[in-house]
Amino acid sequence: MLAASTVDTARTMQRWTLILGSLTSFMVGLDALVVATALPTLHQEFGTGVEGLSWTVNAYELAFAASILTGSTLGDRFGRRRVFVIGISVFTIASALCALSPNVEFLIAARILQGIGGGVCVPLSLALITAATPPHLRGKALGIWGAFTGVAVAAGPLIGGAIVEGLAWQWIFWLNIPVGIAIVALTARKIDEGGRSFARVDPIGLALATLGVFAIAQALIRGNAAGWSSASILGGLIGGTVALALFVAWEHRSASPMMPMSLFRNRSFTAGCVASFVLMAGIFALGFLTAQYLQLALRHGPLGVGLRLLPATGMALFVSPLAGRLADRLGEKPLVMLGLGLQTLGLLMIGTLVTATNGYSAIIGPLFVTGVGIAIAFPTVTTAVMRSVEPAQAGIASGISNTFRQVGAVFGVAIATAIFASKGGYGTASEFVNGYRPAFTALSALCAVGILAGFAIRRPTSIDTPGRGRGDHNPTPASVPLQR
């Protein structure tokens, strides 16, 4: 009876960890692009220009990317649940500050704080789920987590448009408050503390990594407006690269590195990080440019834009959990390659088929193709990374892969913007398409690199499924098969 009670308790904790971790990822991911459809309203209310408005989106992504490794390291040192709760609390408080913003400068500052909270709690949600879930069920669990995350990021414009048209832009942020409070309260009661490595915090490594990521990311975002040859942009790119090079050198010699370089000798881990970078570059660039195409070139309203993006965004809810279960049977390699292949094909079709006159009918099919590819790749790339490391490294592995994702998102938007601005403009639908087409052709080439990365992922020596391999012996987190 005692053993049965222990099993029931463990299963209940697994369910709650998955529910709360997925809900956290959805809420934080939603705020990445949910503000996009509110920009015209913010322009009217605050009287700010396009550069100030762009930072309401970009400040969140930059702070998110710069905080991931810090949060993961602190979680491994002081306890993942504890630091996860702190991250959710910061995010929730910052959401209230966003809603109360009297001007765009205050809003940008609050968005930075929001991004810091999100960057801390999202990778730890993934690490908590990984630690709480038996190896033979991790693919399914991470598939569900991936579905929530993918839908959140992609559905931001739809939900934001509905809220802006139906309520007011402040409600984009007010709705986070009760959800954040509920997650904090339930986490304290329902989730185990998770792993703790007791390694010393590496302040020099944290500073160098944060500086490097922030400097390069802000240069990529601002490069088109400020000029790629300007001192501030070149300084950011060069300075950020130098900081990251110093970070790598420091990590090699540090007794307690925050990013163990030995992880990158693991082929599956490295390939999964590269695939994550490429995947998110394609996702964010697609949403960024296509939302503008639908609103500025085709003249649809905010809610109409979100509805027309559903072929690309809605697939994750149905396909990602299935992809996660298939990963438990087949391994991640074929699914990552298939997903990124479909994303590449869809983006290439958009770049080839769209014209100034054929409108939405030309892209609805490619959006479906791209959406299915994203829904397949999103959870399986995550599973490939998390299955390739020991459970004690789950926190830092999640942090590293999420950093690659967020920097990939920034890079995707930056390259799409640079190509669009060099070839097209906002004057007419024809001008817009002149920039839209080559941008998507370039993005398809970038995503093709992800297919090659997927090819490098190794199949586990034993796929953990019930009644097979290590699954025969009551698998524990320590029995996860490693891909080397």
pLDDT at 412: 81
pLDDT computed for residue 150 by the predictor: 65
pTM to 2 decimal places: 0.72
Query: Which pLDDT score is estimated for 53?
Result: 65
Of these ranges, 132-141, 278-287, 465-474, the one predicted with the greatest mean pLDDT is 278-287
The tens digit of pLDDT for each residue in 12-51 reads: 777 787 888 888 888 887 777 677 667 667 766 777 655 6
**pLDDT > 70? residue 92:** yes
Res. 467: pLDDT tops 50: no
- Over the range 407-443, which residues count as b (16 or more CB within 10 Å of their CB) and which as e? bbbbbbbbbbbbbbeeebeeeebeebbebbbbbbebb
Above 50 in pLDDT, residue 468?
no
In the chain, where the domains are located: 8-187+258-479, 202-257
What is the percentage of the chain residues whose pLDDT exceeds 90?
7
Pure H helices in 34-166:
39-46, 50-78, 80-99, 104-132, 138-166
- Residue 266 φ then ψ, to 5°: -80, 110
Candidates 109, 116, 126, 68; CA nearest to 92 is 116
Indicate whether 389 pLDDT > 80: no
Report whether pLDDT(473) > 60: no
More confident site: 90 or 138: 90
Neighbours of 113 (CB within 10 A): 19
pLDDT > 90? residue 93: yes
Residues 206 and 73 sit within 8 Å (Cβ to Cβ) = yes
Is the model's pLDDT at 233 over the cut of 80?
Answer: yes
Residue in 457, 452, 448, 141 with CA at minimum distance from that of residue 330? 457
Nearest-angstrom CA–CA distance, 313 and 345: 16
Which phi and psi angles does 412 have, rounded to 5°?
Answer: -60, -45
Tens digits of residue pLDDT in 291-334? 777 777 777 777 777 778 778 877 776 787 777 777 767 777 88
Residue 287: pLDDT band (50, 70, 90) is: confident
Determine the pLDDT at residue 342: 92
pLDDT at position 37: 66
Residue 461's pLDDT is 55
pLDDT confidence tier of residue 476, bands split at 50, 70 and 90? very low
Residue 482 has pLDDT above 70, yes or no: no
CA angle 450, 250, 90 (to 5 degrees): 70
Q: Which CATH class is domain 8-187+258-479?
A: mainly alpha
Q: CA 454 to CA 335: how far, in whole Å?
A: 8
